[in-house]
Structure 1
Amino acid sequence: MAEHQIFTNQNRERIRAVASSFGRAGKMLLKPGRILVGEGCLLKMCRRGPKPKVFFLFNDILVYGSVMVPGRWNNKQKIIPLEEVQQEDLEDGMAMANQWLIRMPHKSFYVSASSPEEKRSWMGHIEKCKALQVQTKGLPTDNDSEKFAATWIPDMASAICMRCSKRFSVAIRRHHCRRCGYIVCRACSKSRALLPNISSKPVRVCQHCVSSTEVEQRRKRKKVKHWKKNSVEDSPMQPEFETSSDEELEDENRYQVPTKWFNNQVEKEDYSPYSFIKPEHINPPVNGLNQQLL
């Protein structure tokens, strides 16, 4: 009983410290039953190339953000429910080694670890926590690839539009089709289409994808009309997610630290002793964000 109480108190302190590292813009992370499993710095493929991001794995969510002050201040907090995550192992690429793909309904991206061992550790911990979360909630296991967002091709991968082959310049800018992830020019992506898993508003779609999207939407509208005739309730609102890259204006940061994991198991029944990932999390800095801004 004493070990259980110690575990609970220390875990609460760590989660509060992680939340405080994102400042006032971050969301509350502390909740009953939530356990911080591990943290580390991974490379995330963004529009303008790989950038280091800090990742925190909990037993029910994956949190990541940009590093402002190593070990003390992060921003642009993103929270991913683990039941929405699908992982795909990949071979080493020219831009990133030890990479794999994290897919979600509203966003998908490549990440890379510093070693094959670290990659296997991250993928294994994420998969284990996801399996426990799905089992706890009694959710079905659904691996339908069509329900996940397309992965954006990095800007550096092509100097020409991948639809009309026009060369990009100051006047002809790069854009991304939200359906296929291709790099396209403005002329080839004038259309907008509703992709409910990405946004509640119409988003940019290339001409090649717009035809198939319209056919699919007409089929869905017929189903909705039929459903409304037999129901007095309106369909629930779809959540709105980001529809463009949030890393475009970020400065590249070379902060890199090895991934650390707790010694305890994810299962709630096991409260074996463990060490803090970072010593400073035992006593998180007071008003650290405000001190950095002054």
Structure 2
Amino acid sequence: MVDRLVNSEANARRINLVEQAFGTSGQSLVQTGRVLVGEGVLTKMCRKGTKPRQFFLFNDVLVYGNIVIAKKKYNKQHIIPLEDVTLTPVDDEGNLRNGWQIKSPFKSFTVYAATATEKTEWMAHINKCVQDLLTKRGKAKSDMEDSPVWVPDKQATHCMHCKKSEFTVLNRRHHCRKCGMVACSNCTSKKWLFPQQSSKPLRICLTCYDQLANAPNAEQEKAAQAPAGQNYDSDSSDDEDDDVPNDAENSDQPTFYENKNHGATKT
């Protein structure tokens, strides 16, 4: 089991190698009781299409990043606490197969495995880590709302809110940070503070703004909104627009260490 790997030299060595691969751009991953459960390449749906990303599953967090040199160097490190993660299977559609959504209050997105077997393995291991973590901490999942899974840019040639505005080089796409739809600037002219996503107020569509503004607790939240006329934050999504070249494909089978006799008792 995972607990058998906690104090193993193999586990410490693996975590150290992950830290080195991210370099100074990444956060320290060494923490008491932390175990690297598995790793592998998954295809992540980004706003401009699908891109391979390196994922590392620990017993308390999910870490992923852009691949600069396969199995050697990564950047754009993202760390998602597992205790608030939920998984939702995604139906196959065309070439997009073996997918599921990873949802949390901090970030939500869709990933695809190379095979159905790998999808099953990834989902089973993530769910097991989440359940074990909640049990160990004696907690239930929080009631915080999950951040939205963004609609990819290519799926919207016109504003999904007004249905009229056509996107061009000058008329940019923007994503609502509450529902994830692609909308024009006019239809995302409001913003709201989502502390779990950012310390600054973020763009939302007019429909979501009306829902939030009319909610019972709206008066408490209005103080957190940005003043009129303030410039909006960039409509990027961390690694979504990063086009760092890489030579990775999600063809290598993932490695889950508690199932292997790599310096630990085989289970």
The reply to whether TM is greater than 0.5 is yes
More helix by share: 1
**Which position in structure 2 is the counterpart of 1:59?**
59
Q: For 1:9-33, what per-residue CA distance to the aligned partner results, in whole angstroms no more than 9, with x for missing partners?
A: 1111111011110001111111221
**Which position in structure 1 is the counterpart of 2:212?**
213
Once residues 159 and 102 of structure 1 are traced to their aligned partners in structure 2, the CA distance between those partners, rounded to angstroms, is 26
- Report if the CA contact (8 A) 2:80-2:106 is conserved: no
Secondary structure at 2:8's aligned position in 1?
Answer: helix
**Which position in structure 1 is the counterpart of 2:254?**
259
**Which position in structure 2 is the counterpart of 1:229?**
none
**Which position in structure 1 is the counterpart of 2:80?**
80
- Report if the CA contact (8 A) 2:70-2:247 is conserved: no
CA 1:177–1:32 in structure 2 vs 1: closer, same or farther (change >3 Å)?
Answer: same
2:237 to 232, 245, 252: 245
Once residues 8 and 106 of structure 2 are traced to their aligned partners in structure 1, the CA distance between those partners, rounded to angstroms, is 33
Residue type of the alignment partner of 1:245: S
- Report if the CA contact (8 A) 1:87-1:103 is conserved: yes
Once residues 254 and 175 of structure 1 are traced to their aligned partners in structure 2, the CA distance between those partners, rounded to angstroms, is 30
**Which position in structure 1 is the counterpart of 2:228?**
none
Written as runs of structure 1 = structure 2, the 5 A alignment for 1:124-139 is: 124-139=124-139
Once residues 102 and 141 of structure 1 are traced to their aligned partners in structure 2, the CA distance between those partners, rounded to angstroms, is 15
**Following TM superposition, by how much is the alpha carbon of 1:253 offset from its aligned partner in structure 2, in angstroms?**
3.5
Written as runs of structure 1 = structure 2, the 5 A alignment for 1:143-162 is: 147-162=145-160
CA 1:33–1:264 in structure 2 vs 1: closer, same or farther (change >3 Å)?
Answer: farther
Secondary structure at 1:250's aligned position in 2?
Answer: coil
Written as runs of structure 1 = structure 2, the 5 A alignment for 1:40-119 is: 40-94=40-94, 96-119=96-119
Once residues 17 and 221 of structure 1 are traced to their aligned partners in structure 2, the CA distance between those partners, rounded to angstroms, is 48
Q: Which runs of 4+ in 1 moved over 3 A?
A: 4-7, 220-225, 251-254
- Report if the CA contact (8 A) 1:172-1:185 is conserved: yes
Once residues 95 and 173 of structure 1 are traced to their aligned partners in structure 2, the CA distance between those partners, rounded to angstroms, is 27
Secondary structure at 1:21's aligned position in 2?
Answer: helix
- Indicate the RMSD between aligned Cα atoms, in angstroms: 2.6
TM-score (norm 2): 0.85
Once residues 34 and 198 of structure 1 are traced to their aligned partners in structure 2, the CA distance between those partners, rounded to angstroms, is 24
Q: Tell me which structure has the larger Cα radius of gyration.
A: 1
**Which position in structure 1 is the counterpart of 2:199?**
200
**Following TM superposition, by how much is the alpha carbon of 1:196 offset from its aligned partner in structure 2, in angstroms?**
2.9
**Following TM superposition, by how much is the alpha carbon of 1:94 offset from its aligned partner in structure 2, in angstroms?**
3.4
- Report if the CA contact (8 A) 2:162-2:187 is conserved: yes
Structure 2, unaligned stretches of length 5 or more? 224-233
Structure 1, unaligned stretches of length 5 or more? 226-241, 266-270, 275-294
Once residues 185 and 112 of structure 1 are traced to their aligned partners in structure 2, the CA distance between those partners, rounded to angstroms, is 29
